[in-house]
Amino acid sequence: MLRNIIRRYNSSSYSSNKLVLNCRNININSNNNNVCLNRFSFNNSNNILANNISHQYLLYSSYSTTNTTFNNNNNNKKDDINNNSSNVSLFGFDKYIENELKNQFNVLEATEIQKKTIKPLLSGKDLFIVDETGTGKSFLLMSSIVNDYLRNYKLINKQSKQQSQYLSPNYIIVTPNRELAWQYGDWIRKLTANIGSEQQQPAVAMVVGGQSLSSIYQQLKEIQPNIIIGTPNYIYELLVAERLSIDSLRMLVVDEADLIMQAMSRNSTFREKQNRKKHLPEGVKLIIEINKRARSRMDFPTSTHQQQSSSSTKDDKKQQPTKQQQPLITDKSILSLINPLNKNTRQQQQRKVREVEDVDEEVKHIYQRTVRWFQTIYASATLNLRNRKYIDEKDWINEDRVYVTLMSKQKEDLAVPQQFTNRFVPVVSEQGLLNALVSKWIEFQPTKAIGVIPNDGSVDKVVQSLRERGINARPLNEFMDFETFNITGIKDQEKRQYFKDQIASERKAKEHTVAKERKERSKQQHGKQQQQQQPTIMEEDEIEIVKLPNMNDQQILYIGKENAIRGVDISSIGHVFILNITLTMSSYLHMAGRSGRMGQKGHVISIYNALLSRKYEGVMKLLNTPFQEDT
């Protein structure tokens, strides 16, 4: 029905006198030259010579041993990256970054969540960051990565030369979609564009779909990126193929962590749990692999099974009973299975449960949590307690992690921000959906807006249908250069051209395959339509088509799929059109959050099949949002 048009088509050593593990805070005394980093402490009378920085995390703005100088092309002045005389302003970042944030991004004041996050972020602590959409969480993390790179440029550059035969990034950013990955990359390049020379700029690369993995790997070898941004599946494939190393990793950022980790509900069925064990999400597999490699560098077992086996012979009382001890099956024992348990039987079962729990407690006591040399950050507007507990219990974050949020415990149950207006429009057909969209477009007259379609929809078909009705609709990723992003980071012109030709060849082969599949699919659908009976709803031909008289090029409607728009920040978006999507509380908040950024007003217009009215009403009730449908 409504889905006909929206359907699938588609280690470390230092020359020092003293080494103390587990130093969690950063303290710097310039007089005594005592430097305590976030996980290691050094006492050196002269200076610190870094042979390998993979266990070092130099974050604090007062640290001034590298004395790296960068040149700003705009004013031909040199900014001392480690000169802390006037560096602290908005975020406590380097003076150069503060200036660029103002000039390039017009950032004049930090948001409340940024103010609360910056102190633990710069201290090197692992973090959970949770706040409403559009409050600058991702932007702060991006700026922090650039800040850390500039302050430690010499050390990072020295290590990259020692490990030039490997892909050994210093920073990895994991995103659920390639659109958000591109946004991170674009931000970083804009922020670092005016650094004195290309050699001083961080090398950035994307690892996302659209190209073959072998082609991406060849590009990465040429770039030798300091920062890798990508989706979990591609990063995981590079890691297990031993083409990517985490030895030099300084920061791991998992953005939109709830969508990547996909923690199961406690109400999940047994079949769902078994299916989850067999088919882990790509994000979970990636974090498991990174954690496995981090623990392999420690001096303790990598799993609880090894620890449990080593302690299983301690207590003879907890061994399994022998055959002689096992009871015989009699009529009385069969009756005990049918009749309710008596008091003695119940006590025996409770005693067995307590013994098992004692064994589990011993295993938990023996297990040593991982202490990572890199900082790990999980961020999302909907990273609820279930997801945080899942990550914490799996030991995917350091034990001293910090939970940063502005939400109270009462408010943590998700709610729609107050700056949003919400409209609900039920329809009964495809033409009705498109007519309602055009009508609301005329009513609100937006300059820029986003239209969200289901994940199994066709962006191209929706764009085409809307343009026929006079709306300037475009694909969300139209301005995102996924194919050429990495190529622009390659300095050799001949190699650039080689990769461009390779991408063009892959694209041509892919288009041929897709066209063939569409042709076969259309034949199958045509045959099914002839066999099916006519629908009972109003015929499409009987509905009058609503069109705009002229297309206004100054008004743009970006069309993207539900997962593709997650985390994307496009300036001046004031309206979001949700088109026939089955809602959840989390999905509605993330879709609505594409507008109303940084506290601005936002308008959310949901147009959906009338059969979903009760579902929408239930979700709005859970979000404490008034629900009234337009007639």
pLDDT digits (tens, 9 = 90+) for 352-389: 656 655 555 555 557 788 999 999 999 999 999 999 99
Tokens of 209: 């779909």
- Reply yes or no on whether the pLDDT at 18 is more than 80: no
Per-residue buried b or exposed e for 140-153, using 16+ beta carbons within 10 Å of the residue's own CB: bbbbbbbbbbbbbb
Q: How far apart are the first and last CA of the chain?
A: 21
Nearest to 464 by CA among 434, 499, 426, 496: 434
Select from 205, 230, 261 the last residue of a domain: 261
Q: Which pLDDT score is estimated for 16?
A: 34
Residue 2 lies in a domain: no
**How far is residue 279 CA from its own chain's centroid?**
20
User: Which residue intervals of 394-474 are DSSP H helices?
Assistant: 430-444, 459-468
Please write the tens of the pLDDT for every residue from 545-585. 888 989 999 999 999 999 999 989 888 899 999 999 999 98
List of residues 6+ apart from 293 with CB closer than 8 A: 239, 246
Domain region containing 85: 19-261
Quick: pLDDT tens for 605-618.
999 999 999 999 99
**Most confident among 57-61, 147-151, 229-233, 262-266 (mean pLDDT):** 229-233
Would you state the pLDDT for residue 537?
41
Q: What is the pLDDT of residue 34?
A: 36
pLDDT at 542: 62
CB atoms inside a 10 Å sphere around CB 290: 22
DSSP 316: G
Residue 317 has pLDDT above 90, yes or no: no
Which residues make Cβ contacts (< 8 Å) with residue 131, sequence separation at least 6? 113, 137, 381, 405, 406, 407
Radius of gyration in angstroms for the set of CA atoms belonging to the chain, rounded to a whole number: 28
Q: Does 499 reside within a domain?
A: no
- Give me the half-sphere count of Cα atoms (radius 13 Å) on the Cβ side of residue 544: 3
Domain presence at residue 611: yes
* Structural tokens at position 383: 């990273």
Strands 171-174 and 227-230: parallel
The CATH number given to whatever domain includes residue 38 is 3.40.50.300
What's the pLDDT score for residue 452?
96
Between the CA of residue 517 and those of 423, 464, 475, what are the distances in Å?
38, 20, 22
Q: What is the pLDDT of residues 181-197, one digit of tens each?
A: 999 999 999 999 887 67
Q: What is the pLDDT of residue 503?
A: 87
Mean pLDDT (the chain, rounded): 77
Beta strands in 282-427 (DSSP E): 375-379, 402-405, 420-427
So what's the pLDDT on residue 69? 33
Give one DSSP letter per residue of 477-495, joined into a string. Answer: TTT--TTTTTGGG---HHH
Residue recorded with tokens 């609503």 = 546
Contact 382, 258 (CB under 8 A): yes
pLDDT for 257 beyond 90: yes
Mean pLDDT of 55-66: 31
Q: pLDDT value at position 411? A: 47
**Quick one: tokens of 368?**
């040593």
Instruction: Tell me the C-alpha distance between 246 and 171, whole Å.
Output: 9
In this prediction, residue 408 has a pLDDT band, given cuts at 50, 70 and 90, of low
Considering only CA atoms, which of 119, 12, 17 is closest in space to residue 56?
A: 12
CB burial of 23-56 (b: ≥16 within 10 Å; e: otherwise) equals beebebeeeeeebbbbbbbbebeeebebebbbbb
pLDDT, residue 360, reads 53
Residue 322 has pLDDT above 60, yes or no: no
**What is the C-alpha separation between 144 and 61, in angstroms, rounded?**
11
**Element housing 232 (H / E):** helix 232-240
pLDDT of residue 565: 92
Helix 137-151 to helix 112-122 angle (10° resolution) is: 30
Is the confidence at residue 543, as pLDDT, over 80?
no
Could you tell me how far CA 146 lies from the centroid of its own chain?
18
Angle at 506 between CA 502 and CA 507, to 5 degrees: 115
pLDDT for residue 467? 95
Please state which of the ranges 137-151, 268-282, 298-312, 610-624 shows the lowest mean pLDDT: 298-312
Distance of CA 11 to the CA centre of its chain: 28
pLDDT of residue 596: 78
In this model, does residue 87 exceed pLDDT 50?
no
As a whole number of angstroms, the distance between CA 154 and CA 331 comes to 80
Domain contains 410:
no
Instruction: Name the domain count of the chain.
Output: 2
Whether 253 is in a domain gets the answer yes
Q: 3-state SS of 584-608?
A: CHHHHHHHHCCCCHHHCCEEEEEEE
Confidence band, pLDDT 50/70/90 cuts, at residue 459: very high
Final residue in a domain of this structure, among 261, 285, 305? 261
**Is residue 532 included in any domain, yes or no?**
no
What percent of the chain stands above pLDDT 70? 70
Q: What is the mean pLDDT of residues 479-495?
A: 89
Q: Which of 261, 280, 301 is the last residue of a domain?
A: 261
Q: Which tokens sit at 233?
A: 């599946």
Phi-psi bin for 630: left (phi > 0), alpha (psi -120 to 50), beta?
beta
Cα–Cα distance, 520 to 261 (Å, whole number): 36
Quote helix, strand, coil % in the chain, to nearest 5: 40, 15, 45
Q: Is 308 contained in some domain?
A: no
- Supply the DSSP string of 358-378, one letter for each residue: HHHHHHHHH------SSEEEE
In the chain, pLDDT over 90 holds for what percent of residues?
43
Q: Do residues 599 and 419 make contact, with C-beta atoms less than 8 angstroms apart?
A: yes
Q: Is 50 exceeded by the pLDDT of residue 167?
A: yes
State the Cα–Cα distance between residues 573 and 578, nearest whole angstrom.
Answer: 14
3-class secondary-structure state, position 59: coil
Q: Write down the residue that tokens 């920062």 correspond to.
A: 227
Average pLDDT score over residue span 120-149? 94
pLDDT score for 300: 58
pLDDT confidence of residue 343? 53
User: How far apart are alpha carbons 291 and 319 in whole angstroms?
Assistant: 32
- Whether the predicted pLDDT of 349 surpasses 50: yes
Paired sense of beta strands 127-130 and 171-174, if any: unpaired
DSSP strand E in 132-188: where?
171-174
Task: Tell me if 12 is assigned to some domain.
Answer: no
pLDDT value at position 17? Answer: 34
Q: How many whole angstroms separate alpha carbon 458 and alpha carbon 451?
A: 12
At residue 4, the pLDDT reads 44
3 state SS of 80: strand
pLDDT reported for residue 348:
65
The answer, yes or no, to whether residue 256 has pLDDT greater than 80, is yes
Most confident of 33-47, 52-66, 176-190, 568-582: 176-190
The 575-579 sheet, strands edge to edge: 420-427, 602-609, 575-579, 448-453, 556-561, 473-475
> Do strands 251-255 and 40-43 pair parallel, antiparallel, or not at all (unpaired)?
unpaired
Question: Mean of the pLDDT values across residues 120-146?
Answer: 94
